[in-house]
A and B are shown apart, each in its own frame.
Chain A
Amino acid sequence: MKNAEFRRLFDVSDQDLEQVRAYGKRVTPYMDAFVEKLYTFLRRALEEHYTVHFPDPGTLQRAQSAIRRAWFEFWEARWDEAYVASREHIGNTHAQLQLDPRHYLAAMAYSFRLWTDDLAPQGLSDEERRVTIIAVQRVIAMEGALVVDTYHRRTTEIIDQQSRALVDMSTPIAALSQGVLMLPIVGILDSRRAQDVMRRMLSQISEKQAVAFILDISGVAVVDTAVANHLIRMTKGARLMGCTVIVSGVSAQVAETIVELGIDVGEMKTTGNLKDALKVAFRLTGVEAAT
């Protein structure tokens, strides 16, 4: 269970939670003052971000009532599954809105100060104050970790989704004719992208039973040793499946670079333009190329 895991990690005992609840009964009457002070601080500390986060009075009011609810829950300190779910919701919302986690943590740090110092009730003994601060600090740290953890997970998910979509978008493999596939590579070919491209290329070769695969690199920004090696590996991978790769779009500059860097392209078939690549491909498939 997630709540048990977090309580173990942050060493929060039942007694700590009891302490938080008892203190909460004494400070929740000051909730209005708390919200006001917190937002005064945020307006000052966030500077121009403040208007980005809270562009209109409606948004501000929604955020403030959400904060109130969150703090009332905090002082109830139930730490059950419902509580964890509500904190995960906060993390997810922040991730969705792309709020800076630094701002969240800053608000939490300031809140801690408000609750334990500025708004601390009179008449607490030093010992009471000490154990209260320790308990509240632990629970706030645990809560912050839970929210930021959720935030981080959600953000990673979003990035993963985007990069998957990007891979699909950036590898538009087209079937030119029976047994001939073509893929124009545009932009930067780093090792991660090269692997993605190769995987998609190989599965398409198998699916479409391609005899020839034209890899057009006229749109590749930089061709250096690393890129050349990626191309060579792709060529080998395809060859293993019985498909010949023809690298087209080798410009004069790229050819010069390859020679200058002393890259051994081995048996890699290359052509200067797409037209010649098609001729080679059609020869491989036994189709006469139209001239």
Chain B
Amino acid sequence: MRGEGRAVLQRVGNAVLVPVQGPVTHDLLAGLRRDLLGHLAQAGASGVVFDLSGVEVMDADDFAQLRRVVDAATLMGATVVLVGIQPGVAAGLVVLDADIDWPRTALTVDSALKELQGP
């Protein structure tokens, strides 16, 4: 269970790329938070990019859980950007009236990294 659905952190310059695959379970997010915060504490990073293109289903609750991870990383000084949210997921969250005003978003990983490295 640990291997499946686990996010592996990738270092890109001064930023950390977090590809998220499969269903956003509580376990996945807990593991992710531990790994990411550990990494930020050890190596530091100016930016974190969550790549959510591999997530097909996410409800308002999952999204609120994700926010906690993002907020924690922000507290450690990183700017967090979400990319690759699937159209179905976005439409679902809007229809569910989820709180979706909080995240910084970008269209692609490239544009997110560029934005983080920009002025």
Contacts and interface: CB of A to CB of B under 8 A. Distances in A.
Contact of A242 (B94, B100, B101, B111): B111
B107 A209 contact: yes
A199 B91 contact: yes
A210 interface: yes
A236 interface: yes
B87 A205 contact: yes
A78 B82 CA distance: 65
Contacts of B106: 242
Contacts of A205: 87, 107
A198 B94 contact: yes
Nearest to A195: B95
B95 A242 contact: no
Contact of A241 (B95, B105, B112): B105
A198 B83 CA distance: 19
A211 interface: yes
Contacts of A243: 107
A242 B91 contact: no
Contacts of A166: none
Contact of B107 (A199, A202, A203, A242): A242
A211 B101 CA distance: 18
A211 B107 contact: yes
Contacts of B83: 242
B93 A240 contact: yes
B47 to A, nearest CB: 15
> From DSSP, what is the main secondary structure of chain B's interface residues?
mixed
B91 A237 contact: yes
B85 interface: yes
Contacts of A211: 107, 111
Interface in B79-115: 82-83, 85-88, 90-91, 93-95, 100-101, 103, 105-108, 111-112
Interface in A180-231: 195, 198-199, 202-203, 205-206, 209-211
B108 A237 contact: no
B82 to A, nearest CB: 8
A206 B108 contact: no
A233 interface: yes
Nearest to A205: B87
A237 B93 CA distance: 8
25 contacts: A195-B91, A195-B95, A198-B94, A199-B87, A202-B91, A203-B87, A205-B87, A205-B107, A206-B87, A210-B107, A211-B107, A233-B94, A236-B100, A236-B101, A237-B90, A237-B94, A238-B90, A240-B85, A240-B90, A241-B85, A242-B82, A242-B83, A242-B106, A242-B108, A266-B101
Interface of B: 82-83, 85-88, 90-91, 93-95, 100-101, 103, 105-108, 111-112
Given A195-B91, A238-B90, A240-B105, 11 more contacts: A198-B94, A202-B87, A233-B94, A236-B94, A236-B100, A237-B90, A237-B100, A240-B103, A241-B85, A241-B90, A241-B105
